Structure 1
Amino acid sequence: MTASRPLLEKLATTTALAGALIALAALAPVAANAQLTNNAPGAAAAKTDVPADQPWMNTKLSAEARADLILKEMTLAEKLQLTFGYFSTDNKWQITPLKNYVYPKDGRPFSAGFVPGIPRLGIPNQWQSDAGVGVATQTVPKESVTAEFPRGRTALPSGIATAATWSPETAFAGGAMIGNESFLSGFNVQLAGGMNLLREARNGRNFEYGGEDPLLSGVITGNEIKGIQSQNVISTMKHFAFNGQETNRFTMDHQIEDKSARESDLLAFQIANEIGQPGSVMCAYNRVNGFYACENDWLLNQVLKTDWGFKGYVMSDWGATHSTIPAANHGLDQQSGWAFDRSNYFEGALREAVNNGYVSEARANDMAKRILWAMFEVGLFDKPVKGDQSSTIDFVKNGKISQTDAEEAIVLLKNTLGLLPLSKTARSILIVGAHADVGVLSGGGSSQVYPIGGSAVPDEFGKGFPGPKVWYPSSPMKGLQARTAATVSYLDGKDVKAAAAAAKKADVVIVFGEQWTGESIDAPDLNLPNNQDALIAAVAKANKKTVVVLQTGGPVVMPWLAKVGAVVEAWYPGTSGGEAIARVLTGEVNPSGHLPATFPASLDQTPRPVLEGDPKLDQDSHPMGNYNIEGAAIGYKWFDKKGYKPLFAFGHGLSYTTFALSGLTAAPEGKGLKASFSVKNTGAVSGKDVAQIYVSGNGWEAPKRLGAFKKVEVAPGQSQSVSVTVDPRLLATYDSASKTWTVAAGDYKVMLATSATEIVQTVTVRLDAQTLNVKGE
Structure 2
Amino acid sequence: MLAITAPTVDARPATQAASHHTDARARAAALVARMTLDEKIALVHGLFPPMARGKTKHELIPSAGHIDGIPRLGVPLVRETDASLGVANQVNQRKGDVATALPAGLATAASFDPEIAHEGGAMIGSEARAKRFNVMLAGGVNLTRDPWGGRDFEYLGEDPLLAGRMAGAHIAGVQSNHIVSTVKHFVLNSQETGRMVSDARIGEAALRESDLLAFEIAIEQGNPGSVMCSYNMVNGDHACESHHLLTDVLKHDWGYQGWVMSDWGAVHSTVKAANAGLDQESGQELDSEIFFGKRLKAAVEAGKVSMARLDDMVTRYLTGLIETGAFDTPEPKTPQPIDYAAHAKVAQAAEEAGLVLLKNENNILPLAAKARNIVLIGGHADVGVLSGGGSSQVRSVGGVPIEIPLKSGAAASFARVTYHDSSPLKALRAALPDAHITYVDGSDPVAAAKAAKAADIAIVFATEWRTEAEDVPNLSLPDNQDALIGAVADAQPNSVVVLETGGPVLMPWLAKVPGVIEAWYPGQRGGPAIANVLTGMVNPSGRLPITFPAAASQAPRPKPVGLDTLNKLEAQAAANPADAGNHPLKTFPIDYVEGSNVGYRWYELKGEKPLFPFGYGLSYTSFAYRNAKVTGGKQLTVSFDVVNTGKRAGADVAQIYVTRKGSGTPMRLAGFKRVELKPGESRHVTLVAAPRIVADYDTKLPGWRIAGGAYEVALARDASDRSQTFTVNLDPATMKP
TM-score, normalised with respect to structure 1: 0.90
Distance 1:466 1:412, change over 3 A: farther
Code of the aligned partner of 1:110: P
Query: 1:131 is matched with which residue?
Result: 83
* Map 1:550-561 → 2, pairs under 5 A: 550-561=499-510
| CA deviations over 1:219-257 (Å, ceiling 9, x no partner) | 001100010011111000100000110000001001011
Contact persistence 1:513–1:528 (CA under 8 A)? yes
Query: 1:312 is matched with which residue?
Result: 258
Whether 2:163 is the aligned partner of 1:163: answer no
Contact persistence 2:406–2:417 (CA under 8 A)? yes
CA shift at 1:466, angstroms? 4.8
| Residue 380 of structure 2, aligned match among 398, 415, 435 | 435
Structure 1 stretch displaced more, 736-745 or 203-212: 736-745
Contact persistence 2:76–2:327 (CA under 8 A)? yes
CA shift at 1:574, angstroms? 0.6
Cα distance in 1 between the residues matched to 2:413 and 2:607: 40
Query: What's the secondary structure of 2:363's corresponding residue?
Result: coil
Cα distance in 2 between the residues matched to 1:421 and 1:196: 35
Query: What's the secondary structure of 1:228's corresponding residue?
Result: helix
Cα distance in 1 between the residues matched to 2:623 and 2:238: 48
Whether 2:430 is the aligned partner of 1:482: answer yes
Distance 1:700 1:336, change over 3 A: farther
Cα distance in 2 between the residues matched to 1:265 and 1:615: 26
Distance 1:765 1:508, change over 3 A: same
Query: What's the secondary structure of 1:336's corresponding residue?
Result: coil
CA shift at 1:157, angstroms? 0.7
Query: 2:26 is matched with which residue?
Result: 65
Distance 1:235 1:619, change over 3 A: farther
* Map 1:135-214 → 2, pairs under 5 A: 135-139=87-91, 149-214=95-160
Distance 1:114 1:701, change over 3 A: farther
Code of the aligned partner of 1:224: H
Cα distance in 2 between the residues matched to 1:473 and 1:283: 34
Query: 2:605 is matched with which residue?
Result: 641
CA shift at 1:326, angstroms? 0.2
RMSD: 1.8
Contact persistence 1:251–1:619 (CA under 8 A)? no
Distance 1:465 1:417, change over 3 A: farther
Query: 2:351 is matched with which residue?
Result: 406
Contact persistence 2:386–2:522 (CA under 8 A)? yes
Query: What's the secondary structure of 2:46's corresponding residue?
Result: strand
CA shift at 1:701, angstroms? 7.3
Query: What's the secondary structure of 2:283's corresponding residue?
Result: strand
* Map 1:378-417 → 2, pairs under 5 A: 378-390=324-336, 392-417=337-362
CA shift at 1:745, angstroms? 1.1
Query: What's the secondary structure of 1:417's corresponding residue?
Result: helix
Cα distance in 2 between the residues matched to 1:639 and 1:554: 17
Query: 1:6 is matched with which residue?
Result: none
Query: 1:748 is matched with which residue?
Result: 711
Distance 1:588 1:108, change over 3 A: farther
CA shift at 1:105, angstroms? 4.6
Code of the aligned partner of 2:611: L
Distance 1:461 1:544, change over 3 A: farther
Contact persistence 1:508–1:546 (CA under 8 A)? yes
Cα distance in 2 between the residues matched to 1:546 and 1:409: 22
* Map 1:187-336 → 2, pairs under 5 A: 187-336=133-282
Contact persistence 2:206–2:595 (CA under 8 A)? yes
| Residue 771 of structure 1, aligned match among 719, 734, 737 | 734
TM-score, normalised with respect to structure 2: 0.94
Contact persistence 2:17–2:325 (CA under 8 A)? no
Code of the aligned partner of 2:339: D
Cα distance in 2 between the residues matched to 1:245 and 1:623: 13
| Residue 566 of structure 2, aligned match among 599, 615, 632 | 615
Code of the aligned partner of 2:527: G
Cα distance in 2 between the residues matched to 1:278 and 1:90: 28
Query: 1:423 is matched with which residue?
Result: 368
Structure 1 stretch displaced more, 245-254 or 672-681: 672-681
Distance 1:620 1:556, change over 3 A: closer
CA shift at 1:772, angstroms? 1.4
Code of the aligned partner of 2:30: L
Contact persistence 1:442–1:471 (CA under 8 A)? yes
Aligned-residue sequence identity (percent) comes to: 49
Whether 2:548 is the aligned partner of 1:599: answer yes
Contact persistence 2:115–2:169 (CA under 8 A)? yes
Whether 2:591 is the aligned partner of 1:626: answer yes
The count of residues paired between Structure 1 and Structure 2 equals: 716
| CA deviations over 1:425-472 (Å, ceiling 9, x no partner) | 111110001111111111001111102343111426454335311111
| Residue 75 of structure 1, aligned match among 36, 45, 48 | 36
CA shift at 1:615, angstroms? 1.9
Contact persistence 1:184–1:387 (CA under 8 A)? no
Contact persistence 1:466–1:519 (CA under 8 A)? no
Query: 2:390 is matched with which residue?
Result: 445
Query: What's the secondary structure of 1:86's corresponding residue?
Result: coil
| Residue 657 of structure 1, aligned match among 621, 633, 637 | 621
Whether 2:725 is the aligned partner of 1:762: answer yes
Cα distance in 2 between the residues matched to 1:700 and 1:480: 51
CA shift at 1:76, angstroms? 1.5
Code of the aligned partner of 1:126: V
Code of the aligned partner of 2:43: L
Query: 1:15 is matched with which residue?
Result: none
Query: 2:464 is matched with which residue?
Result: 515
5+ residue gaps, structure 1: 1-17, 34-43, 51-55, 92-100
CA shift at 1:344, angstroms? 0.1
CA shift at 1:116, angstroms? 0.8
Contact persistence 1:640–1:702 (CA under 8 A)? no
Query: What's the secondary structure of 2:632's corresponding residue?
Result: strand
Code of the aligned partner of 1:720: R
CA shift at 1:668, angstroms? 2.9
CA shift at 1:673, angstroms? 1.7
Distance 1:149 1:686, change over 3 A: same
Structure 1 stretch displaced more, 763-772 or 450-459: 450-459
Code of the aligned partner of 1:444: G
CA shift at 1:384, angstroms? 1.8
Whether 2:454 is the aligned partner of 1:505: answer yes
| Residue 368 of structure 1, aligned match among 310, 314, 329 | 314
Contact persistence 2:18–2:24 (CA under 8 A)? no
Query: What's the secondary structure of 1:755's corresponding residue?
Result: coil
Cα distance in 2 between the residues matched to 1:68 and 1:130: 29
Query: 2:572 is matched with which residue?
Result: none
Contact persistence 1:413–1:569 (CA under 8 A)? yes
| Residue 417 of structure 2, aligned match among 460, 469, 472 | 469
CA shift at 1:622, angstroms? 1.0
Whether 2:685 is the aligned partner of 1:722: answer yes
Distance 1:489 1:59, change over 3 A: closer
Query: 2:579 is matched with which residue?
Result: none
Code of the aligned partner of 2:609: K
Cα distance in 2 between the residues matched to 1:693 and 1:58: 37
CA shift at 1:621, angstroms? 1.4
Distance 1:700 1:338, change over 3 A: farther
Distance 1:300 1:461, change over 3 A: same
Contact persistence 2:17–2:322 (CA under 8 A)? no
Contact persistence 1:253–1:623 (CA under 8 A)? yes
Contact persistence 1:161–1:573 (CA under 8 A)? yes
Cα distance in 2 between the residues matched to 1:172 and 1:699: 39
Structure 1 stretch displaced more, 202-211 or 459-468: 459-468
* Map 1:677-692 → 2, pairs under 5 A: 677-692=640-655
Cα distance in 1 between the residues matched to 2:314 and 2:365: 57
Code of the aligned partner of 1:106: H
Contact persistence 1:107–1:113 (CA under 8 A)? no
Contact persistence 1:110–1:150 (CA under 8 A)? no
Cα distance in 2 between the residues matched to 1:540 and 1:59: 58
* Map 1:675-714 → 2, pairs under 5 A: 675-698=638-661, 702-714=665-677
CA shift at 1:760, angstroms? 3.2
Query: 1:38 is matched with which residue?
Result: none
5+ residue gaps, structure 2: 570-582
